[in-house]
Structure 1
Amino acid sequence: MSYTPMGDLGQQGLFDITRTLLQQPDLAALSETLAQLARQSALADRAALILWRDGNHRARYYTTRTSGKTEEYEDETVLAHGPIRRLLSRPEALHCGYPEFSETWPQLAGTLYQPFGHYCLLPLAAEGRIFGGCEFIRNDDRAWTEKEYSRLHALTQIVGVVAEQIQNRVTNNVDYDLLCRERDNYRILVAITNAVLSRLDMDELVSEVAKEIHYYFRIDAISVVLRSNRKGKLNIHSTHYLDANEPVHDQSEVDEAGTLSERVFKSKEMLLLNLHERDSLAPYERLLFEMWNNQIQTLCLLPLMSGDTMLGVLKLAQCDEKAFTTTNLKLLRQIAERVAIAVDNALAYQEIHRLKERLVDENLALTEQLNNVDSDFGEIIGRSEAMHNVLRQVEMVAQSDSTVLILGETGTGKELIARAIHNLSGRNARRMVKMNCAAMPAGLLESDLFGHERGAFTGASAQRIGRFELADKSSLFLDEVGDMPLELQPKLLRVLQEQEFERLGSNKLIRTDVRLIAATNRDLKQMVADREFRNDLYYRLNVFPINLPPLRERPEDIPLLVKALTFKIARRMGRNIDSIPAETLRLLTQMEWPGNVRELENVIERAVLLTRGSVLQLSLPELCVEPQTQPEPIAETPLNGEDEYQLILRVLKETNGVVAGPKGAAQRLGLKRTTLLSRMKRLGIDKDALA
């Protein structure tokens, strides 16, 4: 029968059919669409494609079953010697009924082909060469009319063009499959990398590694083997997919000797082998064998390397040796590299966590050693009325979040009071953060308080977390707050008012919940009057002031302090001192102690060092030194600029540049320390420059 021109279908019909067929991505989709078009136009109940491969004399069959599922079948025997062979030898339409079909090709009848009414196979040709056939089947005993045959021929011509185009696209592009595999492998690699790198807990990491490898490679036994802290031992984290929905997780410690993992640790190379029941197996491999019903196991052991360091082994076991193809092994090596990075991170996190816990434990132990007096106020010792008043104030303010300003001379125990306030507050679950404003260089103080971003200034090579951020949900103790530079005080005020700040080099606002406890030995009120301290910050700090009495104003506490300090220092030095003479206590009580408790502690420490025996020995002549006669203060008289300059300069030289204190220049001039400092600044006198 001659071919009928396609125009008989109508121009619009041909256009729509051609467009629909050209949109199909592969031969299976083309076969399915052909079957749909044949049914819609009532040309056939079923349609399929049969393609011939000259190179290996094989035939491939694409059909859509009644269930709607597209199936592919290929062979070089039954199908290759069926209707397609007839079409190749006689390039004309083949049509017949089921009896003739089953008689000619009995092996196909009843297998690939169920009983039907009429069968038609039309040739698919390209450049004068037949490369397959387009198959149409009617279930009933109704033959095709001449017009229907014409339409089938026209439809087959279009399918031939589309099928040739699809084949050329796949076969001519040699790298097409390779590119697809590389794309899929890259997606797998990215998915596994994203899944495992964020895991810092080792058990979670191994579980996630196992889940991803099982999903992409259908490998059922996955283990990560790490060396134990105990010599000659291995820690094995395993996951077995005996049930795909409920994997079995296991962690065990085994002997390293004789294991396959030991071989990989020594060679640092991948190990791939088939494991047989008769092989000499280490206990763990034997257990693995028994778990999988003594089936032959194909094992792949991949080293987990961090540079030149061997971290562990990724151990994969599967009953089907086809799981470890050359392509899969290449990808699994890349996955092992990512898993090694994740294991390295998890081990580093474990070490950091261990050191952190150790630091916390050491801090608690140190605190317990220091808190040798049973009291709600820890290290604070005192039964005087002055100290009772202080401790009552501490109890009153501790449970609130109000800012506290602790005022007192050097050595009176301001930090101990701050710690007591924190420990009695609702924030005591977190450690109090402290900072000494006088001990920090002015240029670094802001960075230390608020933190900085990398590159914020010269030398800022990494991001730094500031004290305010560290003290979130806790207390921040700012000691010597009176020494804070004027230019930094507005920033401190802002944090106290707004509870937010910015790191140096960043414009991102960071909110913080910090309870501030400040302390100073300076007269902030006078500093405000001298414009050395901002008045708004002073009022913000001075919400609840606590004045600590100097030691000379609470002499009844000195015996208690001497006993406590003696026993604490003696225990620290490994000495056994169990007695303090009453005369020694009496003399210590009569002293003025300008250095307060800190000075008393230093005297006791020296006495413990010099003591031989169990009774504290203190040099009595040293304690009975008569107080030096203080130089008469130079009367403060109105002086003109030059005379005042010379007078202050002379007195500073006589006192070796010391301004404050009983032997300082302020005392000799009869001036307050802040007043003298203000005049020195006005006159341009630098005490540090004095020879």
Structure 2
Amino acid sequence: MRKLKHALHPMPTTDETLLLHLNEAIATIRDKDQLFKVVTTKLRLIFPFDLIGINVFDETLQYKRLFLRDYYGADEAPALPDGLEQFSPVAGTPLEVLVADPRVRQFTPREYMANYPNYAPYNKFEKLGVTHLTAVPLHLGGRLAGFLTLASRRNPNLTPADEKLLEKIGSLIAVAVTNTLAFEEVARREQERSLQLNITNALLSIKQREPLFRAVAGALSQVVRFDYFGLRVQRAGRQEPFEGFAEFSRSGDGPDAPLLALDPNRQNGLNQLDTSAMYQQLNDLLKVPGLYAADDFRAQAQRYPLLRHVYEEYGTRAMLIVPIWQRADGAAVLMLASPNPTAFRREDLATVVALAPQIALALENLFAFEQIEELKAQVEQERTYLVDEINTSARFGDNSGTFIGNSPALQLVERRIGLVAPTDTTVLISGETGTGKELVARELHNASPRHARALIKLNCAALPAQLIESELFGHEKGAFTGAVERRIGKFELANGGSIFLDEIGELPLDLQAKLLRVLQEREFERLGGTKVLHSDARVIAATNRVLADEVAAGRFRADLYYRLNVFPIELAPLRERREDVEPLLRHFIQRLSKRLGKPIRQVRPTDLAALQAYGWPGNIRELEHVLEQAIIVSQGTFLEFAGFAGSPLMLAATAAPSARLAAAPIKTLREQERDHILVALQHTGGRVSGAQGAALLLDINPKTLEARMKKLGIRRTVGVEG
């Protein structure tokens, strides 16, 4: 038709006029759809065609993207395959032939696809009745920017003049397409900046993991369409990572559709897998941003178990991976997935990469909030614990004075404390009751780098076996009858500080195994809980038993003994360092007289000699209690020791000279302990427990005293032996 017009009415300016009108029509258009509508309408007035498409290239001419497409007879012609709106390689497609020789060309589909019989976007041309194709290069400033393709069901019979005109039209369209793309990019970047600001403002105020997880997913859904959202953060020193996976509901096709099946810690079936090991295998892939789809994703799924799992279980066919951070103290990665292999474009990857700093900032802010809350909770727990300790000390007094004296045995202990205190090594303190094991533990803690945190104490013999586990590891609400609220255990409380386990030899065998796990793995669970907790607590244990003998007797685990006995410190009994009795005596007189509001009285030389000669089965604790009683009952210039039951002077024959004392037969430790308990029972009228009982006088647990009485054959009735 157009050739007939040229023949009858030759007009040299017709092409120029047509180009001018077309240029005026598209020069100010910035909307892609409107531009395509104008181009299609104007071209169809000049050239017959049934399908039209515009492909644009990147600057390297290695990647193509279908910018626009349209066809008449939509009911007759099925849509072209999905995925053409994202950049894909030019290599392996018929377009590489056009790129190699960019000029206006006419050919049939069979000619066009001669070397590409399996090229999906064009293999249905013959079924659609397309018989002719016309390819028009889009040049901009001498650079090939894309191709305009016209397809028709009949021969358009284009002349060289028509091809020349199409070449000029192609240049105009190239300018319009480039301008439209530029405005799209400006709009995208503006939207991206606005989104970054909105994300920053919204996320920085969120202090809980699940709301943050939802907020990040919701914000990303405004710019990228996805079906599954994943976020994983692994931080140094944190054995348990923060993981989140959720299905993104598209019900209602709204950008703010809710997340489904959300559980921010290992969900959607992944909790049955060792995801940490899977992520370790996937490490190289997570270090750089990537878009994996269709065959590429299938290949990665064959290589990596985690991707194979989501490929098989969720039908995932495309995944977008963006590292949030990758550094020495940990890593964070965000993943978007879809069962649609063409769900993501390279622009989507660039958008998420641009938002990564805001997400990183939100995560850091969240972890800072969590750390503050953890520290606040720990400080409050330590405060409560220390208040209890202060109240206990105020009621019962302390045992200070262990390091009063200059005996070789004491100097050896001080040297060993100085050697091990700066380390995190586990220490086992052994010695008889009353030798000052707790004060050695306190000195170890105070001289260590952990001195700013609490020293948490637990007497393993002071509680029934069923309560010791709760004390050590804590319990959840409802874990057992009477557990009306969650309780923080001693190991959790001691995190960052030290824990002192006194009378460790009394620990039941089943709990010994659990304690061994804490020493080996630094992890435990609360009673009734499933979450693995971690404790960086330095363990100091103490015992008045010979644990090697307990191991041989089968009452103590050998593996636990070797874990505890890394650095032993043995405290000598007071009878083996008699030279320390006098300085200890003067120290206690000063301190106790002041506390009791009594004048400071002197000790007679004969009494001092008798005190030094006494065997002290209760060691320093017994010396302190004897002096406290003497200070209370004494009225004159000197302290009186003979006027009350249990006086060591009565036991040591006060009036006798030292030689006579030394010549007296030496009793065994069992006999000394038995005599000492009998004296205490006489002093309390046979009462074992309570405020006036022998257990308080001897400073041991009533149940422990009863067990020892049974072992030594002592009945509750004073003076009646079993």
TM-score bin, normalised by smaller chain: 0.3 to 0.5
Q: TM-score by structure 2 length?
A: 0.38
Q: TM-score by structure 1 length?
A: 0.39
